[in-house]
A and B are shown apart, each in its own frame.
Chain A
């Protein structure tokens, strides 16, 4: 094996609109520059190989989260703000994570199936009476916002700020380009409402929010951390699931055979969703900070630099998934994909997201015989998330 310590320099900007609206040809070119390359546009290192992405995600000592998920090291920012769970390393992360997993775990999520089911039936009942609909605006965007805020226990009032707020938080994982600026146009209003919803007094007695606050009384976390954790739930729990549902349907609308198979065996829906998430991962990329000089994929990485982790590239790396990595394959085991991240920071809400997606898809499978694209899907222009603004489909209802 030859050791190459100088990375290939890649000139295209990953935050350019063209690369965002059609990411996969861009990622193919980036992958050709090696599993780790240097991005001239951002001054960071791109990590695209599955093995290398997995390494960055699981080696939390070498690849620190404390510098934030964006391109700048937040510790060097003038206005210090308390780090969120995503921006923490152990041991701070450990306590916050424990507070969250005490509240969100397989047992508590199992109990959500009851309350989460009727809204899905209601939505899909209505959609099945039409000849077509927009899978994003009529379904994906409607469902999580109906069930998830209730599960957290925030007030009805002000929920319209959740999506724009989530949009801000995630766009900040990219540079302060015009996409960022658009997302932050009314930042103050959205932040104020969402932060207020995270306070102890705003939360009802049954939701996850209140249970997180209970851990303050136990002495596990501070009040400030409780607010931050509830905020993290709200900002990470809605958009990503909307995109998860939309992206899954964008894939399945083009797979009539898989749809027919799933109608025969709806209990396999979770496997189809998993493979669709591998192929069209909602969370495409974010940064970590190199804490000590190291080497990755044959490239020397100096301490203090940022690496840009391309989850969406790792999930289509032919070295890991084979020559048909960019195809949907119902029979493939997509286990190990990094759509939810991996390691200590892996998405805490994963079981909730999977539950929501499964409930919606199974409801749709029961009511819809065939589904097909009815025109081009319109991609969302977002620094790090991959999804669609519009996804028109035609359907034939099940008899």
Chain B
């Protein structure tokens, strides 16, 4: 057996647009191929790429192609009137054969293994969900998708998904036919061993968060669209944690909790539920800004940012280091 070191993906990948398709009104879907003819680095459902449209215009788009086929990548771009230039640029200036510089795929919205999944997509928020559905299906998991949009002709991939998985698993809810997604009906009853993955506009995600209050913490995973591009928040980027009592500094990887990383270096943290529910792992913050993901602290405590639950909470987007009293 030979062991090869993982190859570091290049920061910038030069690509050529293979095809531009229009899967719905106002949505362009770009298929990218590497300029050097090689395969793209492998990626997991939920990943996105940075697309460098010009030197100072970069946008993030979720990948919606097949994780098994690395010869191409596919993204979907909605043209929005309030776009800060990104979607208009894509729609107006790009066509088959255009060159595009992108980053290697990164994943801030990873699909965690679970027995059951509930997928919720609003509009173009369907894109990161598509590879997730395929992964859930391939793993034989129980899943259902609720996909809401204004009308069918604005909902990218709706028909194809319905045809692929059937309308039992793929529930298309077009506003002009049957009104909005009835979130109280869909999320009213918390379910066991089921994770919720939701992607869509801020308004929809706010409502989803409200309805998920009674669910086990950690059940809900969201990715927000801001204007025409992926927004910040729900960040799973790696960050550093310094333990103030011992001076040890460690890295919390994207697929790790602070608690796991801290235990790995042998420091002791009392914990119980490991799910952000019980409050046992409360840890004092010396410096840095957390993103609270627990259901234990009150809102006032969360706003004060003096303590955090290290079993689920992470560093806030843009905060690269937390110093904790451990």
Mark A residues whose CB is within 8 Å of B: 58-62, 90-91, 94-95, 97-98, 101-102, 105-109, 268, 270-271, 274, 333, 335-337, 340, 342-344, 346-347, 350-351, 354
Please determine whether A107 and B192 come into contact, CB atoms closer than 8 angstroms.
no
User: What residue in chain A is nearest B216 (Cβ atoms)?
Assistant: A344
User: What residue in chain A is nearest B268 (Cβ atoms)?
Assistant: A271
Complex CA distance for A347 and B301, rounded to whole angstroms: 21
Please determine whether B188 and A91 come into contact, CB atoms closer than 8 angstroms.
yes
Tally inter-chain residue pairs, CB-CB below 8 A.
81
Is the C-beta of B277 less than 8 angstroms from some C-beta in chain A? yes
Interface-central residue, A59, A101, A268, A347, by most chain B CB under 10 Å: A101
Contacting A351 at CB < 8 Å: which of B213, B278, B307?
A: B278
Is the C-beta of B246 less than 8 angstroms from some C-beta in chain A? no
Please determine whether A107 and B263 come into contact, CB atoms closer than 8 angstroms.
no
Contacts of A97 in B (CB 8 A): 214
Please determine whether A350 and B278 come into contact, CB atoms closer than 8 angstroms.
yes
Chain B at the A interface: SS class: loop
Contacts of B192 in A (CB 8 A): 58-62, 343
Contacts of A342 in B (CB 8 A): 273
Please determine whether A105 and B297 come into contact, CB atoms closer than 8 angstroms.
yes
Please determine whether B272 and A101 come into contact, CB atoms closer than 8 angstroms.
no
Q: How far is the CB of B283 from chain A (nearest CB, A)?
A: 11
Contacting A350 at CB < 8 Å: which of B280, B295, B298, B300?
A: B280
Please determine whether A106 and B282 come into contact, CB atoms closer than 8 angstroms.
yes
Contact with A along B225-250 (1 / 0, CB 8 A): 00000000000000000000000000
Please determine whether B193 and A59 come into contact, CB atoms closer than 8 angstroms.
yes
Answer whether A336 and B274 are a contact pair too, CB < 8 Å, given A91-B190, A344-B190: yes
Contacting A94 at CB < 8 Å: which of B190, B277, B298?
A: B190
Please determine whether B193 and A335 come into contact, CB atoms closer than 8 angstroms.
no
User: What residue in chain B is nearest A337 (Cβ atoms)?
Assistant: B272
Complex CA distance for A108 and B278, rounded to whole angstroms: 13
User: What residue in chain B is nearest A94 (Cβ atoms)?
Assistant: B214
User: What residue in chain B is nearest A103 (Cβ atoms)?
Assistant: B298
Answer whether A109 and B191 are a contact pair too, CB < 8 Å, given A333-B263, A335-B274, A336-B274: no
Please determine whether B190 and A90 come into contact, CB atoms closer than 8 angstroms.
yes
Please determine whether A105 and B298 come into contact, CB atoms closer than 8 angstroms.
yes
Please determine whether A107 and B300 come into contact, CB atoms closer than 8 angstroms.
yes
Which chain B residues (284-308) contact chain A, with CB distance < 8 Å?
Answer: 295-298, 300-301, 307
Is the C-beta of B279 less than 8 angstroms from some C-beta in chain A? yes
Contacts of B214 in A (CB 8 A): 90-91, 94-95, 97-98
Complex CA distance for A77 and B60, rounded to whole angstroms: 59
- What bracket does the count of chain B residues touching chain A fall in? 20 to 34
Please determine whether B279 and A350 come into contact, CB atoms closer than 8 angstroms.
yes
Q: How far is the CB of A56 from chain B (nearest CB, A)?
A: 11
Contact with A along B192-221 (1 / 0, CB 8 A): 110000000000000000000110100000
User: What residue in chain B is nearest A59 (Cβ atoms)?
Assistant: B192
Contacts of B307 in A (CB 8 A): 106
Q: What are 7 sample pairs from A and B whose C-beta atoms fall under 8 A apart?
A: A58-B216, A101-B295, A106-B307, A268-B268, A336-B271, A337-B272, A350-B272
User: What residue in chain A is nearest B188 (Cβ atoms)?
Assistant: A91
Is the C-beta of B265 less than 8 angstroms from some C-beta in chain A? no
Please determine whether A351 and B279 come into contact, CB atoms closer than 8 angstroms.
yes
Which chain B residues (29-76) contact chain A, with CB distance < 8 Å?
Answer: none
Which chain B residues (304-319) contact chain A, with CB distance < 8 Å?
Answer: 307
Contacting B280 at CB < 8 Å: which of A268, A333, A351?
A: A351
Contacts of A101 in B (CB 8 A): 295-296
Mark B residues whose CB is within 8 Å of A: 188-193, 213-214, 216, 263, 268, 270-274, 277-280, 282, 295-298, 300-301, 307
User: What residue in chain A is nearest B271 (Cβ atoms)?
Assistant: A335
Answer whether A105 and B279 are a contact pair too, CB < 8 Å, given A333-B263, A342-B273: yes
Complex CA distance for A108 and B214, rounded to whole angstroms: 20
Q: How far is the CB of B295 from chain A (nearest CB, A)?
A: 7
Complex CA distance for A342 and B275, rounded to whole angstroms: 10
Contacts of B296 in A (CB 8 A): 101, 105-106
Complex CA distance for A337 and B272, rounded to whole angstroms: 7
Please determine whether B190 and A346 come into contact, CB atoms closer than 8 angstroms.
no
Complex CA distance for A337 and B188, rounded to whole angstroms: 30
Please determine whether A106 and B272 come into contact, CB atoms closer than 8 angstroms.
no
Complex CA distance for A337 and B280, rounded to whole angstroms: 13
Q: How far is the CB of B265 from chain A (nearest CB, A)?
A: 13
Please determine whether B213 and A340 come into contact, CB atoms closer than 8 angstroms.
no
Please determine whether A107 and B297 come into contact, CB atoms closer than 8 angstroms.
yes
Please determine whether B273 and A107 come into contact, CB atoms closer than 8 angstroms.
no
User: What residue in chain B is nearest A90 (Cβ atoms)?
Assistant: B190
Complex CA distance for A109 and B279, rounded to whole angstroms: 10
Complex CA distance for A34 and B295, rounded to whole angstroms: 36
Complex CA distance for A335 and B259, rounded to whole angstroms: 11
Please determine whether A346 and B277 come into contact, CB atoms closer than 8 angstroms.
yes
Please determine whether B298 and A107 come into contact, CB atoms closer than 8 angstroms.
yes
Contacts of A268 in B (CB 8 A): 268
User: What residue in chain B is nearest A340 (Cβ atoms)?
Assistant: B272
User: What residue in chain A is nearest B297 (Cβ atoms)?
Assistant: A106
Answer whether A106 and B273 are a contact pair too, CB < 8 Å, given A91-B189, A94-B190: no
Given A94-B214, A101-B296; 10 other pairs, CB 8 A cutoff: A58-B193, A61-B191, A90-B189, A98-B213, A101-B295, A105-B298, A107-B301, A335-B274, A346-B278, A354-B280
Complex CA distance for A62 and B194, rounded to whole angstroms: 13
Contacts of B271 in A (CB 8 A): 335-336
User: What residue in chain A is nearest B214 (Cβ atoms)?
Assistant: A94
Please determine whether B279 and A335 come into contact, CB atoms closer than 8 angstroms.
no
Please determine whether A343 and B216 come into contact, CB atoms closer than 8 angstroms.
yes
Please determine whether B188 and A106 come into contact, CB atoms closer than 8 angstroms.
no
- 3 closest A-B pairs by beta carbon, nearest first, are A94-B214, A106-B279, A61-B192
Q: How far is the CB of A342 from chain B (nearest CB, A)?
A: 7
Q: How far is the CB of B11 from chain A (nearest CB, A)?
A: 39
Q: How far is the CB of A67 from chain B (nearest CB, A)?
A: 16
User: What residue in chain A is nearest B270 (Cβ atoms)?
Assistant: A270
Complex CA distance for A152 and B274, rounded to whole angstroms: 27
Please determine whether B301 and A106 come into contact, CB atoms closer than 8 angstroms.
yes
Complex CA distance for A101 and B297, rounded to whole angstroms: 9
Contacts of A346 in B (CB 8 A): 272-273, 277-278
Contacts of A108 in B (CB 8 A): 298
Please determine whether B298 and A340 come into contact, CB atoms closer than 8 angstroms.
no
User: What residue in chain A is nearest B300 (Cβ atoms)?
Assistant: A107
Complex CA distance for A180 and B282, rounded to whole angstroms: 39
Complex CA distance for A20 and B190, rounded to whole angstroms: 36
Complex CA distance for A337 and B278, rounded to whole angstroms: 13
Q: How far is the CB of B326 from chain A (nearest CB, A)?
A: 12
Contacts of A58 in B (CB 8 A): 192-193, 216
Q: How far is the CB of B161 from chain A (nearest CB, A)?
A: 27
